[in-house]
Amino acid sequence: MSHCCPPSRSPGEARVAVDVPGVGPTNTDGLITLPGGTFRMGTDAADGFPDDREGPVREVTVAPFAIDAYAVTNARFAEFVDATGYRTEAEAFGWTYVFAKFVPAALRRGAPRPEHAPWWLGVTGAYWRAPEGPGSDVEARQDHPVVHVSWNDAVAYGHWAGRRLPTEAEWEYAARGGLDQARYPWGDELTPGGEHRCNIWQGRFPVHNTEEDGHAGTAPVDAFAPNGFGLYNVSGNVWEWCADPFGPTHRAMRGGSYLCHESYCNRYRVAARTRNTPDSSSGNTGFRTAADV
């Protein structure tokens, strides 16, 4: 797995019980309804990641469905927590992964670092309302995607909201916005006419981010122009959980994040995918919801 992808919790770490709210009635309010149909999924491009099974390109048919135009925001997630008293897995475990450059010096001391990705820190007390650890908050980020949510947390939100996570096929169909085999949701050029279309890393990772797209961490969920179906930020910003398994112990994630960089992790391509364990969380992982129609 590429190092910009969120690290996993230790397989030996004690599991926590997730209190899933009752399933609400299907609710498509505010979602974009798409007609479904057959599209060409995946990629055979040479710069893909074969180990991620991005290819081969194949025809896939999806039924009509509805999907969020935006990733779930801090404000929306707060409504869920306030209504149900839900505690995320990051809170139950007592820590979650934060990008090291965002962590105050006082919290860095003693914080564990994954051996393969020392730019991540396991920060005690970090969770969705305190995304950089104790002393941080989301008051100025109500319209940013909620982060530090596990797959289990995202499923719990969906149950409460009368929705679900999109399948990978639905996610890619929606992210392509009607384009056939385009590299990105807007076409094949990353910055057409010099214009940034997504929130990813520029500069030399992890040393220096030039922030040419205007953002160091997360961006508002409506940043940049939407794709042809009206979806925002399906490339970059935060990884988005999907419903599908990715092997026996992981769940699929799509879209890349603000830490992706072309030098080693160009997973902001629309066909790219990665994985993580369903109890893992980090400062660059969020989700959007879907529903049957």
- Nearest-CA neighbor of 237 among 253, 223, 252? 223
Beta-sheet pairing, 203-204 with 95-99: unpaired
Instruction: Note the pLDDT of residue 4.
Output: 55
Q: Cα(13)–Cα(109) distance, rounded to whole angstroms?
A: 22
Structure tokens that stand for 252 in this block: 């699929």
Say how far residue 271 (Cα) sits from the centre of its chain.
14
Which helix (H) or strand (E) is 32 found in, with range?
Answer: strand 31-34
Measuring CA to CA, how many Å separate 91 from each of 44, 131, 148?
40, 11, 9
One digit per residue, the tens of pLDDT, for the chain of length 293 reads: 455 578 888 665 655 556 666 666 788 888 999 999 999 999 998 777 777 788 899 999 999 999 999 999 999 999 999 999 999 999 999 999 999 999 999 999 889 999 888 999 999 999 999 999 999 999 999 999 999 999 999 999 999 999 999 999 999 999 999 999 999 999 999 999 999 999 999 999 999 999 999 999 999 999 999 999 999 999 999 999 999 999 999 999 999 999 998 877 889 999 999 999 999 999 999 999 999 99
- Nearest-CA neighbor of 163 among 282, 21, 263, 262? 21
- Nearest-CA neighbor of 179 among 187, 168, 171? 187
Measuring CA to CA, how many Å separate 152 from each of 27, 109, 164, 219, 241?
20, 30, 11, 24, 10
What phi and psi, each to the nearest 5 degrees, are found at residue 72?
Answer: -65, 130
Which residues in 35-51 are b (16+ Cβ under 10 Å) and which e? ebeebebbbeeeebbee
Q: Cα(44)–Cα(269) distance, rounded to whole angstroms?
A: 12
Find all residues with CB under 8 Å of 277, minimum gap 6, and list them: 8, 9, 11, 151, 249, 250, 251
Q: Cα(164)–Cα(182) distance, rounded to whole angstroms?
A: 27
Say if CB 234 and CB 255 are below 8 A apart.
yes
**pTM to 2 decimals?**
0.93
Calculate ∠ Cα 273-17-4, nearest 5°.
Answer: 25
Say if CB 1 and CB 274 are below 8 A apart.
yes
Calculate ∠ Cα 223-118-208, nearest 5°.
Answer: 50
- 3-state DSSP: the chain helix, strand, coil percent, rounded to 5? 20, 20, 60
Instruction: Note the pLDDT of residue 11.
Output: 60
Instruction: Note the pLDDT of residue 281.
Output: 98
Structure tokens that stand for 155 in this block: 């499923």
